[in-house]
Structure 1
Amino acid sequence: MAEGQKILVVDDDELMRTMVIESIGDTYRITDVGSGEACLDAAAGDRPEVILLDVEMPGMDGYETCRRLKADFDLAAIPVIFVSAHDEIEARLRGYEAGADDYIVKPLDFRELQAKIFGLLNRLSERAQLREMASYASQTAMTAMSSMSEVGSLLQTLQAFNSCTSYQELTEKTIAGIAAYGLEGAVQVRTPEGPLTRASRGDATPLEASVIGHMSGMERIVQYRNRLSITYPNVSLLISNMPLEDADRCGRLRDHLAVLAESADVRAATLIAEARTHRRGERIAAAVQRITRTLNDIDHEQRHTRVATGMAVQDFTTRLERAYVGLSLTEAQEEFIAGVCSEGIAKILDAQMAESSQQDKMTAIIHELEGMLAL
């Protein structure tokens, strides 16, 4: 316990005040007065840790003085030890009813007085520590509850990101996540089609869009007074009203907003990749359609050529047979010419058979491509 704590001694007997000062003056800093009125003034002017208050004084007695002390909001917490020549239970009860904390009987045993003062100050110190601990526990509990609420809001926002199917929806969910913390600002999602910027009030002003656009080249997290910027490759946040008056909350929000921005950036990257995959698929499908049409055209043309070739061979054979009659050829000549023609026709037919096999393979490829387009 710290030395030099203030004790106010109130007694109309100057000798009694002197004796008290001599007995405890080395341990405590003593102020002494001789009346109840002076006690009230001294207590208000130089707030003591304990008041030793005589009961029987002319004018305002100790009971009335104690009642007035306890009725004063600023002085009510000062503990009072009554000093009285009366040891009857009625006198003690009157003291407790007036609001005193302890009672000591004259003639004083100064060792008892020292013990009572020490015990009283010790209890006051313990109470103060308990109040401080309770206050700290309450503040810690409130902080924990606030932090849990903030984390809950963050988790809800992250879950909402998972269902976003467009850049517009992602910006709206991000603004809603910011608003859940009571904050205002703007968010920009940079897409292959250009940046999409939205503010808490709706569409971002040209100035807001310009400022947040330039943030892409800044450090990851930058705070200037109550403004906070968080930048990731695809997403930037600009907060305009960080709660600087609450440093703890400000720090927590900065951490939560960094996680929020990073998660939004991951979702934006996913949407960009999905869009690229979709466009690539569309280009592949278009190419497959063009190839299928071309192969179909080739297939029809080749089939038409085969039919035309067959008809031409048949016509050639008929005309050759007619020519034999008009040319008056010998039997040997006819056989020679017939052999040459038969050999040529056989080669044409063999070529057509090979072409037919390739044609069947091409037809199978066409059917496979058509099946892919139908998926």
Structure 2
Amino acid sequence: MESVLVIDDDRLIQRLLGRLLGEHYDLSFASSGEEGVKIAASLEPSVILLDIEMPGLNGYQTCARLRDLEHCMDTPVVFLSSHSSIKERLHGYEVGGDDYIVKPFDAKELFAKISLLVTQSVQRRQLVDSADSAQATAVEAMATSFELGKAVRFVELSYLAKDYDELALQLLRFCNELDLHVALMFITRRGSLFYSSSQETVPPLEADVLTLLHSQQRFSDFGQRTQVNYKHSALLVKNMPAVGSAKYGRVKDVIPFVLGAADTKVRILDAERGLSVQRAELSASIATVNMSLDTLNESFSRNLNTVTSTMSDLVSTLSLELRNMGMEQDQEDWVLDKVENASEKIAACIENNVNTKKVLVDVLDLLQKITSEQDKILQESLNVEQPCSKSQLSGDDIELF
């Protein structure tokens, strides 16, 4: 039920208005201007009926006081007076009155005017509430758009990060733009890396908290702190907004988005670093194998030449010496055949070693090809073209609509 405040020192008028309006409105009465201002300050009535001739503050002075109250600046004020001159009506208008009813008044006319003013007052409050709600919604939407724009900008910048330190700097800068004080942990194959938005190094206890809570659920809330966990990263927010606030919800929405992107980039950087190390080790191994094959090839060539020369000398020597031994021709032929067969077998063994070397050379060529392809993939991964340059991204903020 809407409230109506009657400020009139005439008890008869108060009773009359009580009978006329009491069934339809919540009535409050004041017998002086001072009392009426006090009641209005706490009541916030929908309409005020105000007598002009009263002891102490008169009606005009009381209306001026009422207009000084923030919640009564637009409250309809109806003057009740036995005087109806133009001068008095203009005075009432000047001090902020909305209507002027002359006593004695017609009950139906008064009730109709009060009903109309109450309806207008209710509609005015609803419009104000709607405007406030719309403004709050607009402010919230702009804040959300601002934060999402920053998040999208971070994701695009993260594509260009060449190492963990650069990625961490971008993420800390994003959190700073949201007025968040954070500690950050990246988990790599070489161990955990820690970063802080407030100082150069993360205190040992803070690093322990990041490590211990990393195995927990996605969000870990304790006090005014919240830790967000992903497989390769964790972010500890040390000044989390109050639970239930609009900013708390926005932070809970946007942090997983940016940390998830950072987590993916950490995994990529880790894989690239591992691939680089592996490629360097493989290249070194190939170089060693290549040197060994060259040495082995030289050894094979020398051995083959030595064996061939030795066997040739042996056959020549035997051919000469066998004639001086008094052996039959068939015996000489048998000995020479045995020697030649042995020579051929030795040559075959050396040839097999040469073939084995060719196989190893083919394997080496294959490893070198794999290494080249691996190096090409790595370089393409490190120098992949991005949708826009770093200088472009560092300019104006991204706007979302």
Fold match, TM over 0.5? yes
- 3-state SS of 1:82 partner: strand
**Contact preservation (8 Å) 1:235, 1:265:** yes
Q: Which residue of 2 aligns with 1:317?
A: 315
Amino acid at match of 1:298: L
Distance 1:78 1:328, change over 3 A: closer
Task: Pick the aligned partner of 1:273 from 266, 271, 274.
Answer: 271
**Contact preservation (8 Å) 1:289, 1:373:** no
- 3-state SS of 2:306 partner: helix
Greater RCO, CA 8 A, separation 6+? 2
Q: Which residue of 1 aligns with 2:117?
A: 120
CA–CA distance in structure 1, aligned partners of residues 211 and 110 of structure 2: 76
Shift of 1:130: 0.8
**Contact preservation (8 Å) 2:82, 2:104:** yes
Bigger drift between 290-299 and 141-150 goes to 290-299
Q: Which residue of 2 aligns with 1:305?
A: 303
Query: Normalising to structure 1: TM-score of the pair?
Result: 0.82
CA–CA distance in structure 2, aligned partners of residues 172 and 49 of structure 1: 57
CA RMSD of aligned residues (A): 3.2
Please tell me whether Structure 1 or Structure 2 has the larger radius of gyration of its CA atoms.
1
Shift of 1:336: 4.2
Which ranges in structure 2 are unaligned for 5 or more consecutive residues? 373-401
Which ranges in structure 1 are unaligned for 5 or more consecutive residues? none
Q: Which residue of 1 aligns with 2:36?
A: 42
**Contact preservation (8 Å) 1:50, 1:79:** yes
Q: Which residue of 2 aligns with 1:236?
A: 234
Deviations, residues 33-71 of structure 1 (Å, cap 9, x unaligned): 3xxxx2243232354442323456788664454345435
Shift of 1:133: 0.8
Shift of 1:126: 0.7
Q: Which residue of 1 aligns with 2:210?
A: 212
Shift of 1:366: 2.1
Shift of 1:300: 1.9
CA–CA distance in structure 1, aligned partners of residues 58 and 171 of structure 2: 71
What is the aligned residue count? Answer: 365
**Contact preservation (8 Å) 1:40, 1:69:** no
Query: Normalising to structure 2: TM-score of the pair?
Result: 0.78
Task: Pick the aligned partner of 1:136 from 130, 133, 136.
Answer: 133
Identity %, equivalent residues: 26
CA–CA distance in structure 2, aligned partners of residues 320 and 58 of structure 1: 157
CA–CA distance in structure 2, aligned partners of residues 288 and 212 of structure 1: 42
Distance 1:51 1:175, change over 3 A: closer
Distance 1:304 1:60, change over 3 A: closer
Distance 1:289 1:64, change over 3 A: closer
1:284-295 matches, within 5 Å, as: 284-295=282-293
**Contact preservation (8 Å) 1:292, 1:370:** no
Distance 1:30 1:110, change over 3 A: farther
